[in-house]
Amino acid sequence: MTGELMSKDKDKVLPALRVRDFRLFWISQIISLSGTWMQHVAIGWLVYSITKSPFYLGLVMTFLSAPIMMFTLFGGIFADRHSKRNIIIATQLLSIIPAFLLGLLTQLHIMEIRYVFILVSFIGLLNAFDIPARQSFFVEMVGKGKLLNAIALNSAAFNAARIIGPFVGGIIIARFNLQACFYINSFSFLPAVIALYIIRDRGVGKISGHKSVLKELSEGLLFVRQHHQILFIFITITFLSLFGIPYSSFLPVIAEDILKTGAEGLGRLAGSAGAGAFTAAMIIALKGTINRRFLYMSFSLSAASMSIFIMTFSRLEPLSLALLFMTGFGIVSFLANANNFIQQSVPDYIRGRVMSAYILVFLGMSPIGNFVIGALAEHIGTMNALRISSIVCIGISIFFIRNGRLWEEKT
């Protein structure tokens, strides 16, 4: 009897990892995403080295995210119509091309800012189809009962890579060269492709092929509008994406001009935010269901907003690292719980489209935020621009707290 109880308790710990296909997917993602985050830091350093302009830092992130804003809803339809596994395999293979070209152009000393814009736009286009398929693929692998654990573990992998990638990338840039980061990333996609080939294909979506694209788009958006709890979360995430999440695009300015810590310091800053995010994801993965979800999400959003605001006054690296840790912790705690609630509320036949709308407000709004904050930074300074955006985030937190209790009562 004791053995059976111990076995049941053991099954409750990280249950999604007990599913073979998810385990393969998760391990391969840590490798692939570490390369992606290494490249992310390298792109920021490359752009700031070429231009010495915070405006261009914001603009390059706009070019990266704009295709998501324009095409992710179509990516959701594509995910509902076709095999999600095969979509991810295709996007991972195609992602090798821009990573390799970034490395080659940098190595040949012919890199120009326009080439960066073109290549990151292609990366963004791939993400517009990759992310909705990926988000919808979790429930196919583990089922709804283990979905929160799968989302939290995916977030943990993403943010473990967010620690490893920038830290290693900063060292490589400082001690070797910039192009090595891009070449390493191009090879990092291969383990993910191999793992996906091993994972069982769940087949194509159940959506009817006779409906028009506009009809299918309207069905997904109508579902969101008719479910007030989901709509409330979407509104909150929209403003967080516009004014909170873009802070990371300006870390090269903070490392180079404010803290004077160079490329290795940039790696530490990005890695600290990743460490906070990873910690949040693992707490959710190990704990499972969050009983007082509204309170937890309110605290998380408020802590992230206040941390960004206080960081704008910091001139000490240890303090900035601690605040970035709290920022990463708060944002991921909020988003992981929001993602889980949405996925639990969505029927399978429309999941790709609703999750593509989630990606639209989560990532697709950030190009606007990056552009606005970058333009503002060009005129009033980076820290003043981030200070204003963080005050807006504090307002978002107040909005969520004042209106969220009604949402919690309904859920």
pLDDT digits (tens, 9 = 90+) for 279-313: 887 887 777 666 677 888 888 999 999 999 999 99
Most confident of 49-63, 87-101, 283-297, 371-385: 87-101
Q: What is the mean pLDDT of residues 35-57?
A: 86
What does the pLDDT read at residue 161?
81
Question: Is it the case that residue 11 has pLDDT exceeding 60?
Answer: no
Query: 371: pLDDT confidence band, cut at 50, 70 and 90?
Result: confident
Most confident of 42-56, 106-120, 223-237: 106-120
Position with higher pLDDT, 105 vs 290: 105
Report helix angle 84-94 to 96-107, nearest 10. Answer: 10
Domains located in the chain, CATH noted? 12-199+212-410 (1.20.1250.20)
Cβ burial of 9 (10 Å; 0-12, 13-18, 19+) is exposed
The helix (H) or strand (E) run that includes residue 84 is: helix 84-94
Tokens 């993965």: give the residue: 285
Q: What is the mean pLDDT of residues 238-263?
A: 86
Q: What is the mean pLDDT of residues 374-395?
A: 90
Structure tokens at 218: 């309207």
Nearest-angstrom CA–CA distance, 111 and 298: 44
φ and ψ of 178, to 5 deg: -75, -40
Position with higher pLDDT, 74 vs 99: 99
pLDDT digits over 159-184, tens only?
778 778 878 888 888 888 888 999 99
Position with higher pLDDT, 309 vs 374: 309
Question: Is it the case that residue 21 has pLDDT exceeding 90?
Answer: no
Q: What is the mean pLDDT of residues 305-325?
A: 93
C-alpha Rg value of the chain to the nearest Å = 20
What does the pLDDT read at residue 4?
47
Q: What is the mean pLDDT of the chain?
A: 82
Report helix angle 113-142 to 20-51, nearest 10. Answer: 160
Q: What is the mean pLDDT of residues 330-357?
A: 80
Question: Is it the case that residue 260 has pLDDT exceeding 90?
Answer: no
Structure tokens at 391: 């005050």
Nearest-angstrom CA–CA distance, 228 and 345: 11
Question: Is it the case that residue 216 has pLDDT exceeding 50?
Answer: yes
Position with higher pLDDT, 127 vs 157: 127
Q: What is the number of other CB atoms lying within 10 angstroms of the CB of residue 183?
A: 19
Nearest-angstrom CA–CA distance, 179 and 198: 31
